[in-house]
Structure 1
Amino acid sequence: MFPNKTTFQLNRKSKQALYLQLSNTFIELIKSRKLLPETKLPSSRALSENLNVHRKTVVACYEELLLQGWVESIPKKGTFVNANLPELNVQNFTIENRHKKTNNTGFNFYHNEELVRKSPEKKEGFMYINDGISDARLTPAEDIARIYRRICGRKHIYKEMSYGSLFGNEKLRKTLANYLNKTRGLSVSYENILITRGSQMGIYLSSKLLLKKDDLVVIGETNYASADTTFLQSEANLVRVAVDENGLNTKEIEEICKKKAIKAVYVTSHHHHPTTVTLSAERRIHLLNLAKKYSFAIIEDDYDYDFNYNHSPILPLASHDANGNVIYIGSVCKTVAPVFRIGYLISSKEFVNEAANQRRFIDRQGDALLELTFEEFIKNGDLDRHIKKVMKIYKTRRDLFCKLLEEKFKDVFFFEIPKGGMAVWLTLHKKYSWKTISQIAYKHQLEIGEWQRYDIANSKHNAIRIGFATYNEEEIYELIKRLSKTMNEVKLLKKSL
């Protein structure tokens, strides 16, 4: 029996054409076996009168069903449900639940617990600790948008809208080469640069080219957690060395090199992630000499080079590299705003060519229009002006944040005022735990976040990284207020035990 006309719920206000609504309903009826194979459909005239729609709508519907193979038209007999359709094997299939999502997957796939990160659900009124990100409210969005619109209005902009270079926009690469040569003491050409979607892509591509199963990569005892995870995905073995006030202990690296062959050393030389310490000049030279002697790569992640409050930035390892050992990685994501995924990988032309080939399989190319926008943003001096502006603001925020930490928590937290960057490395007194603090802070609408990821090596240092740049002065006072309430409750709890 043909379904009642109430089955056909047509919404005349919908943006979807009526004939498509009608054909989709027929498809669901056929899949649910409410219209069996070989069932004859009403004539176009009869159905149009029954549903109060134009006959052309029904004709278009039947033509759509015919093109998709759901029905077949037999001359002088009519339109029938395709006799050769197999039964769709589903349970409890109804038109009413066809759009309901399922949490179950009908096939096997590989799970990787190492990749799981818990992102807190954003709630109204909560404050969220971060590990050092820029304040998006300071982003020169109007300036960037103005450049973007001007680029999009160019007469021949369509030439930039097809497939482009795997290496990124050539204009941006040339402008970046000139900019980094002047500001960071590099000596590179555009052929040494691969534009990436941020530092993380640079780390990933480097890992894919350098590391195979059981290869050794040296990292700090404390290290950027996402870099650790990336290297582990290549099945490499992580070899950890101590980090002190002068950065990675290069003497330990030398001892390792005497006994084993290592493939790479990962270093955040300017402001070590997460502790914020700077790799000393002596250790920089030592590390470069070791790389030359033992032929390993140095992956230098210079994620926040621009932010220095006490002195001028220290030139990166890449600026002293005369032997082609350094892979230099950076981005404008931290400097401007995380949403602008413009980064770079700089190395020998040979390595950059291979990295571009590897990039083809995860991201065919970047955003050409955005890359052209940032080419002008850098070339016009807008980036430098933005850096000068936010540097003053972030220094003020750093000073206030550290002052309040010292005043309110001198018996609880221990820290050094960071010389640069956007975060403080905060060590908690051994008698307290971040787990307890995190639980109680939540009651005061303060989300501490994944404090465990700062001690993947399980060294029990009891420290986490807390960003200050993203909060204005009013928010810093509020953050300290909530942290004070939390710690007062933690201390009372400690006394009661």
Structure 2
Amino acid sequence: MSSPVEVALNNLIKIDRSLSSPVYLQIAKQMINAIQRGVLRHGVRLPGSRQLALGLGVHRKTAIAAIAELEAQGWVTVSANRGTFVHSVHAGPADQPVAFDSAELLRYPKEAGFGFRRSMLLDRPVSLSRYELEFTDGLPDVRLAPMDRLSKNYAGILRRGNSRGYLGYSHVEGNTFFRQHLANYLNDTRGLHVGVENILTTRGIQMGLYLASTTLLEPGDRVVVGSLSYYVANMIFQKAGAQLSVVPVDEQGVSLEAIRDLCRGGRIRMLYITPHHHYPTTVTLSAERRQALIQLSVEYGFVILEDDYDYDYHYHSSPVLPLASADRSGMVVYIGSFCKALAPGLRTGYIVAPENLIAEIGKLRRIVDRQGDMVMEQALAEMIREGEFQRHLKKAQKIYQERRDALCMRLAQEFEEYLTFQKPPGGLAVWTEWRRDLNLLKLSRACAESKLHLPQTLLFQSGQVSGIRLGFGNFNLPELHMATDILRDSVAKVSG
């Protein structure tokens, strides 16, 4: 018969009475942890309930309840007149104490014990701000979002007698009511001619890019992007095994001649484009190039993946309609979202494409994310139906235009010797081109010293370009003045 365990249980078990978990369960769980990790080996006899209670400073009934829990889960065997013995796969001398580090018992493994494939493509981190002031790549001001109305709709849906219909599984393509009103909205605002069968909902632009590229691309396929492009999209294409081909972007958008030359030189599978406001430079693809580009895609058979990330904000004339509105041959896959119109955290987006492609992408969606947030989609659809969403956009557009004008005025007045820019006709960011002798990374660090976050993802500096994409949407006017003051002072510090 083995003697009672010689491990000091008061060192092994730490009781925290501030936790909601009962003390007997804390004891049982920590003893299970010690058994699983081999500190308490098979056959070890545990102290009796009286001794255990005394050692841990708990009531005997608590110790009895802990032992009963261990027995119920099969971790110990209780034998009448003999005692309680550990039941474990860990063999070894039951009477010999095992050295252990009590902190190690509470630590999760830092590294996997097996090998796996790592991706350098995805190493570029998203830099989160520690400061209240932050230049973004064109995010909206979440304080302007109609959250009262949205939350009222959301809560009302949950209170309805038919709410179960939104809380179970539904169409993979998304909430049908939402897709109906989304189709109406897109047809009205973007000149599309689509129905619910042409729409699949997603959780934002990036999910749409991932689903479309995974479905459409094979390893070795060539994808054409602008000479400056959205780095997340580039990573998604490369992760799918595609090879990127870069074409120049001028004041009228991507170069049509460069794309044609690539087509003549070999097969391209896809062109990724942000034609309304090219990312990051904000230039708009000209109407002439839009028509020619669609004809070129039909001639050479490549997919146009149209990312329309900020179509909703335009400040002068009516916006140029997307390429998808002129597509009669089924060559355009159109991706958009409500993240810029409302708030980035409300992950509601969509893919618009021919019906057979939507059905195929839906198969992939089914295993990645069974469906979207049916309640949120219903709430948003009701806002669209009632005109609340459209009224929000109209109100927000005036505010963002005022902020754009304020930023451009500051840039023109106080940064003239350092940069040039063109006032964008829409969107939530300004593209600025800086003097080549100014180190933009040092500028970012100088801004951080004054508690202004200027993320590296907004900096584009190489032998050919020196630019920063400055988002203004998330600032109110006082914040915008504070941010530009810090930026101005940081530029003077770095350039001096």
Matches within 5 A, 1:343-358: 343-358=349-364
Question: TM-score scaled by structure 2?
Answer: 0.92
Supply the AA of the counterpart residue of 1:460: Q
Supply the AA of the counterpart residue of 1:472: N
- Corresponding position of 2:162: 156
Identify which of 213, 221, 240 aligns with 1:215: 221
In the TM superposition, residue 232 of structure 1 has moved relative to its aligned partner by: 0.7
Q: What percentage of aligned pairs have identical amino acids?
A: 38
Quick check: 1:292 aligned with 2:298? yes
The structure-2 alpha-carbon separation of the partners of 1:260 and 1:446, relative to structure 1 and needing over 3 Å to count, comes to same
- Corresponding position of 2:46: 41
The structure-2 alpha-carbon separation of the partners of 1:460 and 1:102, relative to structure 1 and needing over 3 Å to count, comes to farther
In the TM superposition, residue 29 of structure 1 has moved relative to its aligned partner by: 4.2
C-alpha deviations, 1:453-495, integer Å up to 9, x for none? Answer: 646xx56211121101111111111112112211222332xxx
In the TM superposition, residue 201 of structure 1 has moved relative to its aligned partner by: 1.0
Is the 8 Å Cα contact of residues 413 and 427 (structure 1) preserved in structure 2? yes
C-alpha deviations, 1:182-206, integer Å up to 9, x for none? Answer: 1111111101100000111111111
Is the 8 Å Cα contact of residues 338 and 346 (structure 2) preserved in structure 1? yes
> Partner of 1:385: helix, strand, or coil?
helix
Q: Bigger shift: 219-228 or 459-468?
A: 459-468
Quick check: 1:314 aligned with 2:320? yes
Identify which of 455, 476, 481 aligns with 1:472: 476
> Partner of 1:206: helix, strand, or coil?
helix
Q: Bigger shift: 437-446 or 207-216?
A: 437-446
C-alpha deviations, 1:331-350, integer Å up to 9, x for none? Answer: 00011000100000010111
Quick check: 1:69 aligned with 2:94? no
Identify which of 23, 42, 45 aligns with 1:18: 23
In the TM superposition, residue 69 of structure 1 has moved relative to its aligned partner by: 2.7
Distance in 2, matches of 1:246 and 1:423, equals 18
In the TM superposition, residue 308 of structure 1 has moved relative to its aligned partner by: 0.3
In the TM superposition, residue 442 of structure 1 has moved relative to its aligned partner by: 3.0
- Corresponding position of 1:203: 209
Distance in 2, matches of 1:350 and 1:452, equals 37
C-alpha deviations, 1:49-84, integer Å up to 9, x for none? Answer: 776656554443223212333212335544211164
- Corresponding position of 2:182: 176
Distance in 1, matches of 2:89 and 2:236, equals 50
- Corresponding position of 1:85: 90
> Partner of 2:368: helix, strand, or coil?
coil
The structure-2 alpha-carbon separation of the partners of 1:212 and 1:71, relative to structure 1 and needing over 3 Å to count, comes to same
Is the 8 Å Cα contact of residues 215 and 237 (structure 1) preserved in structure 2? yes
The structure-2 alpha-carbon separation of the partners of 1:433 and 1:46, relative to structure 1 and needing over 3 Å to count, comes to closer
Supply the AA of the counterpart residue of 2:424: P
Quick check: 1:233 aligned with 2:239? yes
Q: Bigger shift: 472-481 or 154-163?
A: 154-163
Is the 8 Å Cα contact of residues 427 and 462 (structure 1) preserved in structure 2? yes
Is the 8 Å Cα contact of residues 274 and 465 (structure 1) preserved in structure 2? yes
Q: Bigger shift: 53-62 or 181-190?
A: 53-62
Distance in 2, matches of 1:437 and 1:311, equals 36
- Corresponding position of 1:109: 116
Distance in 2, matches of 1:436 and 1:197, equals 35
Distance in 2, matches of 1:302 and 1:84, equals 58
Quick check: 1:131 aligned with 2:131? no
In the TM superposition, residue 43 of structure 1 has moved relative to its aligned partner by: 4.2
Is the 8 Å Cα contact of residues 441 and 459 (structure 2) preserved in structure 1? no
Q: CA RMSD in A?
A: 2.3
- Corresponding position of 1:495: none
Supply the AA of the counterpart residue of 2:416: K
> Partner of 1:360: helix, strand, or coil?
helix
> Partner of 1:361: helix, strand, or coil?
helix
Supply the AA of the counterpart residue of 2:20: K
Unaligned runs of 5+ in 2: 93-97
The structure-2 alpha-carbon separation of the partners of 1:423 and 1:478, relative to structure 1 and needing over 3 Å to count, comes to same
Matches within 5 A, 1:404-415: 404-415=410-421
In the TM superposition, residue 406 of structure 1 has moved relative to its aligned partner by: 0.4
Distance in 1, matches of 2:480 and 2:249, equals 29
Quick check: 1:277 aligned with 2:283? yes
In the TM superposition, residue 97 of structure 1 has moved relative to its aligned partner by: 3.6
The structure-2 alpha-carbon separation of the partners of 1:158 and 1:189, relative to structure 1 and needing over 3 Å to count, comes to same
The structure-2 alpha-carbon separation of the partners of 1:9 and 1:441, relative to structure 1 and needing over 3 Å to count, comes to closer
Matches within 5 A, 1:235-384: 235-384=241-390
Is the 8 Å Cα contact of residues 28 and 95 (structure 1) preserved in structure 2? no
Is the 8 Å Cα contact of residues 274 and 454 (structure 1) preserved in structure 2? no
Distance in 2, matches of 1:134 and 1:292, equals 36
Identify which of 472, 479, 486 aligns with 1:482: 486
Identify which of 455, 459, 464 aligns with 1:449: 455
Q: Bigger shift: 130-139 or 113-122?
A: 113-122
Distance in 1, matches of 2:483 and 2:52, equals 66
The structure-2 alpha-carbon separation of the partners of 1:222 and 1:5, relative to structure 1 and needing over 3 Å to count, comes to closer
Distance in 2, matches of 1:179 and 1:127, equals 34
Is the 8 Å Cα contact of residues 44 and 59 (structure 1) preserved in structure 2? yes
Distance in 2, matches of 1:184 and 1:34, equals 66
Supply the AA of the counterpart residue of 1:117: R
Distance in 2, matches of 1:35 and 1:381, equals 66
Distance in 1, matches of 2:281 and 2:361, equals 30
Is the 8 Å Cα contact of residues 241 and 248 (structure 1) preserved in structure 2? yes
The structure-2 alpha-carbon separation of the partners of 1:159 and 1:85, relative to structure 1 and needing over 3 Å to count, comes to farther
